[in-house]
């Protein structure tokens, strides 16, 4: 049987002409959208489009999904695998970079295509942990007793159906040293109907500690339907965290970041990470400098309680964790006296 969310997913807008028409935008944007969309296609659910302002090409939600000519530029320093994912591959679709936790690439599919996505060039066809009923991934986890947390990622793990996910969760539960299940997903945000009774049923049944790390970049992404979906997740005992990407033209102001933290907390979600953009080819126009990022975080600290200030981090290939940014990188690197 097809669930409501699957129908909505199949009905997502993929034609830039339709998106421009729905938002009453200038058809002159179409040629570039088609050209850039050939490299990484447009995909956006109608529930997400409904939160965009009509007639505003600078809308912060639209900017996350509309292909632009700037994506076709290829400035130096922007690559296809900016975070060294392929080097940390422990088994097919299994990334083991950090102590105690392992990330599973469960699927390449996402409900939305974010233009800045660092996995836009990832070879998903060869690299899903789902092959042969998760066999190699489960075998790796069983034989590595230092792993206590499994992170379902992708793509978006909640684009898999609940039968598949429930089956995986119960296999993970049977591994004694696994105590936590973490799900990295944007699906409850772009497609809140995904949080349905079938999803809640297997989550409730699974006795691992469960954490959902959402991906919200702007307060406008949280409308009434999303807030209701998040409260359904909390009601079955999940801890909700959020990670954002700092994006030029989307959330690069103290006012927008503060509004985002406040809106998240009001919806029962704790801010977790604010990621600097991974330098993936096609996303250079979204980059905010490290110095500017530090200034924004200082502005946030001056304005919000400490628990609403996300950790500003960047991913460096080979590092033992996500790497926090210091307050004033310029001064810290030049002063060697106390």
Binding residues vs ligand SF4 (CB under 6 A)? 110, 112-114, 117, 119, 154-156, 186, 215
Q: Is 322 in the site for ligand PLP (CB under 6 A)?
A: yes
Q: Which is nearer to ligand PLP, 98 or 124 (CB)?
A: 98
Picked from ligand SF4, ligand PLP, none, the partner binding residue 218 (CB below 5 to 8 A depending on kind) is none
User: Which part of the chain contacts ligand PLP (CB under 6 A), choosing from 26-34, 52-60, 91-99, 113-121?
Assistant: 91-99
**Residue 35 CA: distances (Å) to CA of 66, 73, 274:** 11, 12, 30
For ligand PLP (CB under 6 A), the number of binding residues is 9
Task: Determine the Cα–Cα distance for residues 313 and 323; give it in Å rounded to an integer.
Answer: 5
Distance separating alpha carbons of residues 333 and 92, to the nearest angstrom:
40
Asked if 321 touches ligand PLP (CB under 6 A), the answer is yes
The least CB distance from residue 45 to ligand SF4, in Å, is 11
User: Using the rule CB under 6 A, is 103 a contact of ligand PLP?
Assistant: yes
- Strand blocks (E) in 154-294: 180-184, 209-215, 239-245, 270-275
Query: Choosing among ligand PLP, ligand SF4, none, which partner's interface includes residue 95 (Cβ < 5 to 8 Å by kind)?
Result: ligand PLP
330 DSSP assignment: H
Q: Kindly state the DSSP code that residue 210 receives in the 8-state scheme.
A: E
Burial of 2 (0-12, 13-18, 19+ CB in 10 A): exposed
Distance of alpha carbon 157 from alpha carbon 151, whole angstroms: 10
User: Which residues, including other chains, have CB under 8 Å from residue 164's CB and lie 6 or more apart?
Assistant: 130
- By C-beta, is 96 or 285 nearer to ligand PLP? 96
Q: Is the Cβ of residue 122 or residue 294 nearer to ligand SF4 in the bound state? A: 122
Residues forming the site for ligand PLP (CB under 6 A): 88, 95, 97-98, 101, 103, 151, 321-322
């Amino acid at each position: 049987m097809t669930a409501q969310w699957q129908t909505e997913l199949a009905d997502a807008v993929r034609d830039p002409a339709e998106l421009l028409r729905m938002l009453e935008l200038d058809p002159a944007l179409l040629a570039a959208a088609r050209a850039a969309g050939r490299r990484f296609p447009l995909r956006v659910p109608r529930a997400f489009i409904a939160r965009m302002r009509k007639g505003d090409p600078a809308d912060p939600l639209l900017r996350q999904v509309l292909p632009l000519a700037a994506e076709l530029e290829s400035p130096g320093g922007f690559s296809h695998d900016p975070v060294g994912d392929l080097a940390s591959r422990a088994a097919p679709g299994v990334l083991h970079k950090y102590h105690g936790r392992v990330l599973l690439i469960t699927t390449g599919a996402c409900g939305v295509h974010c233009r800045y996505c660092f996995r836009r060039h990832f070879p998903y066809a060869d690299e899903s942990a789902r092959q042969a009923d998760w066999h190699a991934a489960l075998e790796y986890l069983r034989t590595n007793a230092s792993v206590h947390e499994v992170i379902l990622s992708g793509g978006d793990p909640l684009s898999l159906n609940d039968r598949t996910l429930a089956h995986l969760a119960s296999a993970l539960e049977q591994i004694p040293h696994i105590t936590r299940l973490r799900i990295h997903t944007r699906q409850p945000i772009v497609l809140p109907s995904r949080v349905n009774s079938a999803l809640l049923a297997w989550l409730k049944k699974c006795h691992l500690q469960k954490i959902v790390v959402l991906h919200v970049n702007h307060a406008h992404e949280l409308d009434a339907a999303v807030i209701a979906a998040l409260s359904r997740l909390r009601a079955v005992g999940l801890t909700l965290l959020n990670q954002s990407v700092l994006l030029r033209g989307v959330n690069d102001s103290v006012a927008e970041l503060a509004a985002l933290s406040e809106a998240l907390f009001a919806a029962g979600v704790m801010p977790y990470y604010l990621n600097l953009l991974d330098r993936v080819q096609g996303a250079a126009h979204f980059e905010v400098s490290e110095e500017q990022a530090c200034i924004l975080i200082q502005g946030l600290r001056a304005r919000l309680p400490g628990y609403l200030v996300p950790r500003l981090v960047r991913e460096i290939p080979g590092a033992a964790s996500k790497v926090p940014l210091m307050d004033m990188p310029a001064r810290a690197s030049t002063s060697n006296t106390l």
